[in-house]
Chains A and B, each alone.
Chain A
Amino acid sequence: MTTTGRENVLTVSDVSKTFDTPEGPLHAVEGMSFTVQRGEFVSVIGPSGCGKSTLFSMIGGLEAATSGEVVIGNDRVSAPHPAISMVFQEESTFPWRTVSDNVAFPLEVAGVPKAERLQQADHFTRLVGLKGFEKRYPGELSGGMKQRVSIARALASEPKLLLMDEPFAALDEQTRLLLGDKVLQIQRDLEQTILLITHNITEAVQLSDRIVVMSYRPGRMKREIVIDLPRPRTSEIVSSDAFGRYVAMIWNDLREEATRGMQDAEGDA
């Protein structure tokens, strides 16, 4: 339990990751520590190359931390954990399955009988606003719709934590804002705990209760910002003064880091 009285769903304690490269050890993430409480929407933001995706992989159990630990509930994460569902940055629907069969995938793997899993899949398909598209294949959907299928599939396993790695990165700004609204609505309806990894400041402020700002390589926690904007929220919030102040505050933190990243990239080139 925390001082707010809410249960910690996720605890990231002093997590570091070092890769061995031909040029020597590369410290991708160093000493990251933060928590996510039940029902909270937390974003981790940082410039490109700061180790966000590495952090995502470690929390999701796809990659082992060099040191430190990730705990979900009371379990230490050492492999993908059933309490965590992931939504990936890349389009990740199965093109040979219909929308309904994609969403039902985790239930199928868990051995849920067909009729029951299709019923549940329909529920989550409706929840992400894809009613009427159940029998379509991903090839017939837009990029935003495909990401909604991925979100519905992740939700279908009823995870304690929905972990998303820049799920809207490939989408245009308008679709991104509208999908943000959809995610906020889902979070409200399901009281879903969500951890979003992103480099998009607007998206992070629009959606989050709290934002963890990361420094450029090695990725360390630079600052934690509580977003005190009213809920329920929609994308209309982006035009408010308070929203603008949060965006400016985060950009001030990130500008220096992003500049370092850019200089590094130019040096490499």
Chain B
Amino acid sequence: MTASRAFWPFVLRWGSVIGVLIIVEILVRYNILNQYVLPRPSEILGSLGRLVTEENVLGYFAITMLEVGVAAIGLIAIGIPFGIFLAYRHDFRHAWRDWIAGLAAAPVVLMYPLFLVVFGRGPMTITMIALVTGLPPVILNAMQGVNGTREVLLNVGRSFNLSSQQQFWKIVLPSALPQIFLGLRLGLIYTMITVVAVEYLITLGGLGQLVGELAERYDLAATYAAVCFVVGVSILFFVFLEWVERWLRLSA
């Protein structure tokens, strides 16, 4: 029963992707879709190897990951504690919550010229834009996660005479973890998109720059292959995050 429950979603997940690729392949082969706009998926897949051997995709990937990694550390080190702080401080929460929500909706990436002036034309600019873009969802979700801890669970802790520290580590934090990780996932998605977008915009650094260069050379198959590479990296990243979340909850 459990095996079949896991089997069908697995088949559906990969079957739908393969199905779409086959349909696109046929549409391009029969010139229903323009091959000068969208290359054949088989051609794109074939270019993946070329990205590694000729285009040094792993080097670009390392630069992007370094920028995303530094921004991620910032999200964790600043966003989560700040969200928890706001959850406990009613006055600050009411003063700042709306501003942070507003920042979440703002197209920060368009302010890249300002960041260039402040931080110079280097990885620091990309990391800082990505950090500012990713922080709001992390802060807001950490705050909501802590505030959303069920009163009855807190009462259980109080009934067993837990200190406020024990109450936080043994009840509030594990209870808030799913929401905190939801925020972290959203923040990292924003961070990843922003890093690649700014690399592309200012042609500096990692995978974004590679995509830009390939597009300028009109090497469409390799361009799409690079985009697929970015998507693949993102998926692996979030699978890893889910695993960390599960591990943290179990060890609480």
List residues of chain A with CB under 8 Å of any chain B CB. 60-62, 79-80, 82, 84-86, 88, 90-92, 94, 96-97, 105-106, 109, 153, 157
Contacts and interface: CB of A to CB of B under 8 A. Distances in A.
B153 interface: yes
A91 B162 CA distance: 19
A169 B216 CA distance: 68
A96 B160 CA distance: 18
B199 to A, nearest CB: 38
Nearest to A150: B156
Contact of A109 (B170, B175, B177, B250): B170
A92 B174 contact: no
Nearest to A153: B156
27 contacts: A62-B158, A79-B161, A80-B160, A85-B159, A86-B155, A86-B156, A86-B159, A88-B155, A90-B150, A90-B152, A92-B150, A92-B153, A92-B155, A94-B153, A94-B171, A94-B175, A96-B175, A96-B177, A96-B249, A97-B252, A105-B170, A106-B160, A109-B161, A109-B162, A109-B166, A109-B170, A157-B160
Given A94-B171, A94-B174, A88 B249 contact: no
B153 to A, nearest CB: 6
Question: Taking chain A's interface residues, is the majority helix, strand, or loop, or is none over half, making it mixed?
Answer: loop
Interface string B153-181: 10110111110001000110011010000
B167 to A, nearest CB: 10
Contacts of B158: 62, 80
A60 B252 contact: no
A90 B156 CA distance: 11
Nearest to A84: B159
Contact of B152 (A60, A80, A88, A97): A88
Interface of B: 150, 152-153, 155-156, 158-162, 166, 170-171, 174-175, 177, 249-250, 252
Nearest to A60: B159
Contacts of B153: 92, 94
Contact of B160 (A88, A90, A97, A109): A109
B157 to A, nearest CB: 9
A241 to B, nearest CB: 39
Contact of B156 (A61, A79, A82, A92): A92
A146 to B, nearest CB: 12
A32 B23 CA distance: 77
Given A88-B152, A94-B171, A80 B159 contact: yes
A185 B12 CA distance: 50
A91 B175 CA distance: 14
A82 to B, nearest CB: 6
Given A94-B171, A94-B174, A96-B174, A105 B152 contact: no
Contacts of B162: 109
A109 to B, nearest CB: 5
A105 B160 contact: yes
Contacts of A96: 174-175, 177, 249-250, 252
A150 to B, nearest CB: 8
A106 to B, nearest CB: 5
A96 B177 CA distance: 10
B94 to A, nearest CB: 20
Contacts of B177: 96
A33 B18 CA distance: 73
The 10 A-B residue pairs whose C-beta atoms are closest, nearest first, are A90-B152, A86-B159, A96-B249, A92-B152, A96-B174, A106-B160, A80-B159, A92-B156, A88-B152, A80-B161
Contacts of A86: 155-156, 159
Given A62-B155, A92-B150, A96-B175, 14 more contacts: A61-B159, A80-B159, A85-B159, A86-B159, A88-B156, A92-B152, A92-B155, A96-B249, A96-B250, A96-B252, A105-B170, A106-B160, A109-B161, A109-B170
